[in-house]
Amino acid sequence: MSLISPGLALSAVLATAYGAVFHLWRGGGYGMLLRYLVAAWGGFALGQLVGWLGGWAFLMVGQVHVLEGTLGSGVVLMIAYWLTVSPSGPTRSSR
């Protein structure tokens, strides 16, 4: 008897990989890694939900909507990055 469904295991592995690769690309400490992992998991779940509600069957592996989950992860990861980045514009110097 399996403790976890294969679809849930595949979703968790893919979302974790997306969050880890995003962290390698953008950098940061352990806090940022945790933030990116949570964002990737949430985004993948959101993409799964959108694919299921929309009835779409693009690039599915079993019951996992890989394309929609990947797009959801990507969008949520970019939003998480955007929310945590400090503005890098020029600073005003007082004279």
Q: What is the pLDDT of residues 9-66, one digit of tens each?
A: 999 999 999 999 999 999 889 999 999 999 999 999 999 999 999 988 888 999 999 9
Nearest Cα to Cα of residue 69 among 2, 4, 6, 8: 8
Q: Are 79 and 45 spatial neighbours (Cβ–Cβ below 8 Å)?
A: no
pTM of the model: 0.84
Name the burial class of residue 46, with classes exposed (0-12), middle (13-18) and buried (19+) by CB atoms within 10 angstroms of its CB.
middle
